Amino acid sequence: MKKDIHPKDYRFVVFKDISNDYTFITKSTVKTKEKIEWEDGKEYPLYKLEISNTSHPFYTGKIKLVDTAGRVDKFKSKYKKHFDKKK
């Protein structure tokens, strides 16, 4: 294996699933700008996730559309002419 290719700045980071407010803490090197106070009273860096194992359809068995940036509406408006022709 190559030497010195792995990061050395691991620290505890809180990950938050913004679709269902599920949070968990683990070691990571991800860069963050926000902080959050954890259950132990200490402050940790916060990284927000759009989807995690608690909201992903594969793990939950439920189909749920997560549209945080209006992508579906943007797609429908872009191809509105095509959809109207089929009707």
* In the chain, where the domains are located: 11-86
- Where residue 85 falls among pLDDT bands split at 50, 70, 90? low
Q: pLDDT digit string (tens) for 9-53? A: 899 999 998 888 889 999 999 999 999 999 999 999 999 988 877
pLDDT at residue 59 tops 80:
no
The answer to whether 17 and 52 have CB atoms below 8 angstroms apart is yes
Where b means 16+ CB within 10 Å and e means fewer, 31-55 reads ebeeebeeeeeeebbbbebebbeeb
pLDDT at residue 64 tops 80:
no
Q: Which residue has the tokens 């010195």?
A: 4
